[in-house]
Amino acid sequence: MSETLTLAKALNRGLRRSLQADPKVLLAGEDIGKLGGVFRITEGLQAEFGENRVIDSPLAESGIVGTAVGLAMRGYRPVVEIQFDGFVFPAFDQIVTQVSKMHARTAGRVPMPIVIRIPYGGAIGSIEHHGESPESYFVHTPGIKVVACSNPNDAYWMIQQAISSDDPVVFLEPKRRYHAKDQVNFSARPQPMHQADIIRHGTDATLLTYGSMVRTCLDAAALAAEEGTSLEVVDLRTLSPIDWVTITASVRRTRRAVVVHEAQRTLGLGAEIAARLHEDLFYVMESPVKRVTAYDMPYPHSKVEDEFLPSVDRILDAVDASLAY
Amino acid sequence: MVQLLTPEGRRVTNDEFEWRGTDDDLVGRLRDMTLTRRFDNEATALQRKGELGVWPPSLGQEAAQVGSARALAPKDTVFPSYREHGVALCLEVPLKQLIALFRGTDAGDWEMLDRFRNYQIIIGAQTLHATGYAMGLQFDGLVGNPDPADNAAVIAYHGDGASSQGDVNESFIFSASYNAPVVFFCQNNQWAISEPMTLQSRIPLFERARGFGFPGVQVDGNDVLAVQAVTEWALERARNGEGPTFIEAFTYRMGAHTTADDPTKYRRDEETQEWAGRDPIKRLTAYLREQGAIDDAHLARLEEESKDFGSEIRSWVDQLRVRTMDELFDNVYADNTVELEAQRREYAEYNAGFEEAL
């Protein structure tokens, strides 16, 4: 059974299913109740499940995550919404010093089955702190897992998998793709959450990307194909842990890799991937790993964000450079 | 400030709070406080001998800790900071595990986590955990039941320094908004390492509670009767569904912040001497003697018990097992990652290299 849904609606359906399946699942966040969240991801859920399961929080992100820690200690599975990527930083302390370390600190006695949903990324013409890509901070932090969905089917399944996870999960939602529609298959067995997906097969180079940039990379691959270049596209899906098996298998075949992400370059995912490919495929690669990323500056005002973020043209330019090496 | 026993050991009355226990109970409190002080002194000495990495002394705060701990009902849960040794002792948390934490043989993953959560080093972070846990008690139907035995509450310990933290203020807001069954027990020991109370607040801390929408009470933190009476009242409110309470236990950190600190650099000896005159153990001893509830023989037996306890504590350090790197690899995640398993093998292979060399 399948249906065409927006990514936003698919998340809503996934959350609904988790709330139905497990009475210990709770949602909390700012404006998620009556309003259904500023992006309407939780629309209708408070009406259906009540104010004790879909909880409007005071405007304090550290409080939202910190109380989620206490709820998790009490046996609940809190799913918290951070309203915008740039607002996660007040909660950074609780995430990094508490959520991520509790399991290790207590020698496994106290798991933290918390999902921290973050609408992330730019290109929506918004104001400062509404277009950030903070994934590296969390990928760098042991004890939490980080995933990014890129399409409605993954959104539907991965949110449920994240909620079922006994480890804390930072769940990145590509906000510029919230309204993109695609098929959601409700009955097929979903792919495991911590697995990358080769979503377009090719032979000349591999584009490695995730979240909002998956669509951009697919567009780039389609254009490249018209010019006779065959690009493989890997949707990483899981950023921590990274699925090295799928990534290295792809690059072993294509021998060239371009990493694409919205986050700034220095110590972004691209750095880790380049280092790893260097370690594992040193004799196989035909050219150095290229990175197409945002520039190392604060996220800019919206009139220039398209130039700040990776685009199809910048990706193709990097592919050309890789092929010409 | 609520006080039921003066520094001289004289019983006084208070319009709102009364001591509901017996003199026998107080003899018990004297034992709790004496053993807490012994435990703390031994741990401080162990650090001086190099057996512990660091130790945060509870010296002087025994009444605040023992009085509040003895107010707890069996279903209540404690969220401590890192200095609540007396609370742990009253709850019969194996104290060896506290020694292990500060010796660095493990990270403080003790038993009885349902009663006494792990120590918290980030200042004030536990107040939010306590609030979330208390919200969970509400969802679980453990608040406001007709039979008090069906109810539960949470007590969150923090200090005067923590009162400046955002997390603590956020926990006040969340607990008030959701009417969560949590008691914030602030041991105002006057000093946040070197920073005096006046740097944290221009008004007495308990007055802040009103601004958050719940009662605040200041209690003589060196008076175990008053502390227990006030905490019992606050916990009862919480269990009954009447929401949070803030208790400011006005006390003094007689020792250093931790063994790494040097209070002579920032506070006057006269101040410390003045507070020594308000000692919680001395005043209870004076009162119980006056009542005839204890005599020299009793105190001698208590001293004997305390000494035995001291040697037991000293024996623990050699019994502690260091949690291994391999166990750490096990415990980062509930469901371990392929990457971390690979790093575990890398670590093992590295070590195996040394064995081959031998």
Concatenate the DSSP letters of all residues of B170-230 into one string: HHHHHHHHHT--EEEEEEE-SEETTEEHHHH-SS-HHHHHHHHTS-EEEEETT-HHHHHHH
pLDDT band per the 50, 70, 90 thresholds, residue B347: very high
Residue with the bigger pLDDT between B112 and B30: it is B30
Q: What is the domain extent for residue B336?
A: 326-357
Catalytic site includes residue B158: no
The percent of residues above 90 in pLDDT, for chain A, comes to 99
Mean pLDDT of A46-56: 98
Question: For the CA atoms of B246, B250, B252, B257, what is the dihedral angle to 10 degrees?
Answer: 20
Q: How many CB pairs under 8 A join A and B?
A: 140
- Mean pLDDT throughout B145-167? 97
Structural domain includes residue B270 = yes
If asked whether residues B174 and B301 sit together in one domain, one would say: yes
A167 with B174: Cβ contact below 8 A = no
> What residue spans of chain B are helical by DSSP H?
23-48, 62-69, 85-90, 96-103, 125-139, 166-178, 197-200, 205-212, 224-239, 269-276, 280-291, 296-316, 325-331, 338-357
Q: Are residues B283 and B350 in the same domain?
A: no
Same structural domain for residues B96 and B143? Answer: yes
Lowest mean pLDDT, pick from A28-32, A70-74, A144-148, B349-353: B349-353
Mutation site, A64, A74, A99, interface B, largest B CB count within 10 A: A74
Say yes or no: B37 and B105 in one domain.
yes
Catalytic residues of A: 130
Cis bond upstream, residue B196 (ω within 30): no
* Residues B137-155, mean pLDDT to the nearest whole number: 97
Find where tokens 């923090």 sit.
Answer: B158
Same domain, B82 and B217: yes
What is the bridge-based pairing of β-strands A181-185 and A169-174?
Answer: unpaired
Q: What residue spans in chain A does CATH classification 3.40.50.920 cover?
A: 198-324
Q: What is the location of CATH 3.40.50.970 in chain A?
A: 2-185
Give pLDDT tens digits for B218-230. Answer: 999 999 999 999 9
Q: Are A253 and A188 within 8 A, CB to CB? A: no
pLDDT at A183 over 80: yes
Determine the residue among B129, B171, B322 to mutate to test chain A binding: the one whose Cβ has the most chain A Cβ atoms within 10 Å: B129
Q: How many residues in chain A?
A: 325
**Domain-located, residue B5:** no
**Could you tell me if B304 and B290 lie in one domain?**
yes
pLDDT at B244: 98
Least Cα distance to A115 among A82, A142, A149 occurs for: A82
B13 in a domain, yes or no?
A: no
Q: Is B345 a catalytic residue?
A: no
Task: Report the percentage of chain B scoring pLDDT > 90.
Answer: 96
For residue B261, being part of any structural domain is answered with yes
d(CA B304, CA B5): 27
Q: What is the mean pLDDT of residues A174-202?
A: 97
Report the run of H or E that residue A268 belongs to, with start and end: none
Fold of A198-324: Rossmann fold (3.40.50)
Q: Is B11 a member of any domain?
A: no
Q: Averaged over B257-284, what is the pLDDT?
A: 95
| pLDDT for position B113 | 87
One-letter amino acid identity for A39? F
CA distance B61 to B49: 24
* B53 and B106 together in one domain: yes
B238 touches chain A (CB under 8 A): no
Domain with residue B160: its CATH number is 3.40.50.970
B339 and A CB contact within 8 Å = yes
> Are residues B339 and B254 both part of a single domain?
no
Same domain, B293 and B345: no
B326 min Cα distance to partner chain A (Å):
12
Query: Hey, which CATH number is domain A2-185, 3.40.50.970, 3.30.830.10, 3.60.110.10, 3.40.50.12500?
Result: 3.40.50.970
Residue B325 CA to residue B331 CA, distance in Å, equals 10
Q: Count of domains in chain B?
A: 2
Write the ipTM. Answer: 0.96
Over 90: is that where the pLDDT of B111 sits? no
Closest listed residue to residue A266, CA positions, set A287, A295, A239, A246: A295
Residues B135 and B168 in one domain: yes
Give the whole-angstrom CA distance, residue B80 versus residue B162. 12
Residue B190, sorted as left (phi over 0), alpha (psi -120 to 50) or beta, turns out to be: left
Sheet holding A115-120, edge to edge: A54-56, A25-29, A77-81, A115-120, A169-174, A145-148, A238-240
Same-domain pairing of B186 and B140: yes
Rounded CA separation A151/A143 (Å): 26
SS3 B332: coil
* Among B93, B117, B133, B339, the residue to mutate for chain A (most A Cβ within 10 A): B133
Minimal Cβ distance to A106: which of B113, B128, B131: B113
Mean pLDDT of A78-94: 97
Question: Residues B256, B237: one domain?
Answer: yes
- Structure confidence by residue, pLDDT tens digits, B21-68: 999 999 999 999 999 999 999 999 999 999 999 999 999 999 999 999
pLDDT of residue B283: 98
Candidate list B257, B278, B283, B287, residue with the active-site label: B257
- Its pTM stands at 0.97
Contact A73 B132 (CB under 8 A): yes
Q: Within a domain: residue B9?
A: no
pLDDT, residue B110, reads: 87
Mean pLDDT of A51-59: 98
pLDDT band at B358 (very low <50, low <70, confident <90, very high): low
The distance from CA A55 to its chain's CA centroid, rounded to whole angstroms, is 24
